[in-house]
Amino acid sequence: MHRYALKVEYHGAPFSGWQRQAEHASVQAAIEAALAKLEPRDHTIAAAGRTDAGVHATGQVAQCDMARDWDPFRLSEALNFHLKPAPVAITACAQVTDDWHARFSAIERQYTFRLLMRRAPATLEDGLVWQVKQPLDAELMRQGAAQLVGHHDFTTFRSSICQAASPVKTLDEITVTEVEGFSGPEIRFFLRARSFLHNQVRSIVGTLERVGTGAWAPEDVRAALEAKDRAACGPVCPPQGLYLTGVVYPEDPFAI
């Protein structure tokens, strides 16, 4: 068998998430079905992270094992042909060693969250941003975000159904940036860590939005973190503004 790394882009709206499910559409199932068109058999692929329903990706990474020794470019082209019309694309493909693993070889995950500040409906980017109608104070949000960077017990920002063995994680960076987006002013959150808890990013962004409105002080974020209590978390924001934008490996499998 020959192992390949796949860089995957997808629009999360039609899917119940990354992971294959018996009765619902998933990104994993779409790619496995496309692989079965190329080599008719059951395929099981693994990914760097399991995104939730409605979450998008520009830099998801998955692996597949093929009996045929495919040229990586031809494999990506063939998969993209068979993935149509699903909103999933293989943007890069590389042959890797048998011991390389999309999940376990990764040393960092990167997420971006887009928050659009606009009163009028976001017609062209509906489902691609979280829209709030009032302006937010990005500087206050930066101050709140700074409370979370580092090695902490993130129980407050962890879903009650999270299956991680420990709530302790190291959050390496949260950047809060104001940009003029395609549909209006946005605040974009960039977060990176070796790994994340279930709903951690959406819990953090939802809490920081409360800071941006003035409902919370930046210091309240530290208090919520130290409470180690899910009830102390702010509202969990919706999934449509969240993107898995990068996965880092000791050596980039897609480097030319």
Alpha helices by DSSP H, 131-188 = 138-146
Q: What are phi and psi of 175, to 5 degrees?
A: -110, 130
Tokens matching residue 213: 């409105």
Cis peptide before 85 (omega within 30 of 0): yes
Q: Which of 52, 65, 172, 252 is catalytic?
A: 52
Element (H, E) at 74: helix 72-83
Tokens matching residue 42: 């059951």
Tokens matching residue 255: 């480097």
198 with 159: CB under 8 angstroms? yes
One DSSP character per residue, 173-231 reads EEEEEEEEETTEEEEEEEEEES---TTHHHHHHHHHHHHHHTSS-HHHHHHHHHHT-GG
CB atoms under 10 Å from CB of 152, counted, come to 19
Does residue 52 have an active-site annotation? yes
Q: Report the alpha-carbon distance of residue 100 to residue 106 in Å, rounded.
A: 9
Active site residues: 52
